[in-house]
Chains A and B, each alone.
Chain A
Amino acid sequence: MAKHVLRVVAVVYVLFLLVLPVGLIIWRTFGDGLGPFTEALTSPSALHAFKVTLTVAGWAVLANTVFGVGAALLLVRHEFPGKRLLGAFIDLPMAVSPVVVGLALILVYGRFSPFGGLLESWGIQVIFSTPGMVLATVFVSLPLVVRAVVPVLEELGDEQEQAAHTLGASRLQTFVRITLPGIRWALGYGVVLCLARSLGEYGAVAVVSGRLVDQTQTLTLFVEERFQNFDQPAAFAAATALALIAVVTLLLTKLLRPKDRIDGN
């Protein structure tokens, strides 16, 4: 009996939280056929928003992949003072609200801060432009690659790397030929997660971008803005596009899930 009650509760919960809203969005999007959908997504503003989103997410993923692998190697293979502090800092973005991140970035890089002013005098504008949005996205998705790679590096151990050294391989050769192949599935998983998070980021980007239509508007901001302006077809179309991207990345992460493919033969 209790089992049945639990099952009903679970189904209703998922229905009202997930299936109904997403289903309605899709229904509203495609309610009048495919035409309005493609039309809404190929408007200049929508295309620009796509481009901004891809640029920002691309740089953020690149930065976090490089940093993530480096930090994971540092955390697993080296002993140094402040190691635990570094570990804690890496997890910080999980706990801090993205809006706070955005405000903090404005405090540091804004036009009226000393550092931001200095950059501005060199002609580099961070806030209300792409660099700031990349920074915000990097911060928000910082832990994802590190946390995906660390356990696999630990499991891998350092004997294979030492063996490679004794066989004459340099540090770089060892990294490329031994370490990287050993962590490739976990790294792929972390990168996809990081990409999904970057594409969907709203709060921090909303604050630092200034929401300038056709300039710093990402896809999530586009959805928001269209909705506020009663352009529901465009809002729903973009939302569906985001949802589809999310589904694809979800499927990718299922394929790459590190614990199923630890040695990757």
Chain B
Amino acid sequence: MATVKYDNATRLYPGNDKPSVDALDIDIADGEFLVLVGPSGCGKSTSLRMLAGLEEVNGGRILIDDKDVTDLSPKDRDVAMVFQNYALYPHMSVADNMGFALKIAGIDKGEIRRRVEEAAKILDLEPYLERKPKALSGGQRQRVAMGRAIVREPKVFLMDEPLSNLDAKLRVQTRTQIASLQRRLGITTVYVTHDQVEAMTMGDRVAVLKDGILQQCDSPRRMYDHPNNVFVAGFIGSPAMNLFEVPVAEGGVKFGNGVHPVDRSVLGSTGNRITLGVRPEDLEVSGEDGLPINIDVVEELGADAYVYGSVAGTDPGDRPIIARVDGRRPPMKGDVIHVKPKADHVHLFDVETGLRLGD
């Protein structure tokens, strides 16, 4: 049971001229599952290690349960870095495999037994406690490994890309397992991944980092519906949001052959161009007044299909335009279709600052 607070926490590595984590401010609630996500080098691991006590904090503070732990050693913080490489020992029982680290920590036998039994109950391993790991299935063995972390009963679990060693299928399975386990245990958890899908499916809240700076920290829903800036808009969502730089026109912005209406108050606060973002599922096929798209690839997914293309008559950019269309009558490669955003489903950003405009 613990809250965690990053209070302006900054890490500047010796020899670097820019902080790797810059004035990070996040309040994590008791029992919350918070995911730190962002591209490689954005400072996710550093942020996690600062909380673990593995990395010096050069500015600001870290608090656990309102206690300043900034200068405490890892051991004294009561956090557990969950490790993906737990070995299982062939001559030891499942119970001993789960509990031996507690023995090392000097915890008494009765208490160890209690914790192991409790973890076994949560992990459906009760009937196997006296067996050797060899007698278990692969999935059960993995749960034994998880049990090793659970029995520590830390205030906070920390996980840095714990699924990166697994293949795609197992990763999805384990992802679900970890998330549901965390909810059952109710232990505050901070989880690092570079995979936004993983972040969005697992987290109560997701914190997006870029270049050491927190871009947004919100629930997955809010993050998806209301990205605070153009970076988050492009980073969150799969397939990614379409981003267009469009000229401001009378009563809105020019989109293809038509005008997409935008509130005057929004347009007044920015220049004569604007970044318009629209998710693939928020584009609809329109008449000639929409944006003409040359279709390069059609990906059929049953009820829906995604089409990937470029604006007809222009150079295809490095990011294709993606639209979701009806899967029963999808267009074909080489076709030209017209699309326009559904009303109220666009995200507008300032071209210069990248910040969200309007609501």
Answer yes or no: do A and B interact: no
Which chain B residues have a beta carbon within 8 Å of chain A's beta carbons?
none
Which chain A residues have a beta carbon within 8 Å of chain B's beta carbons?
none
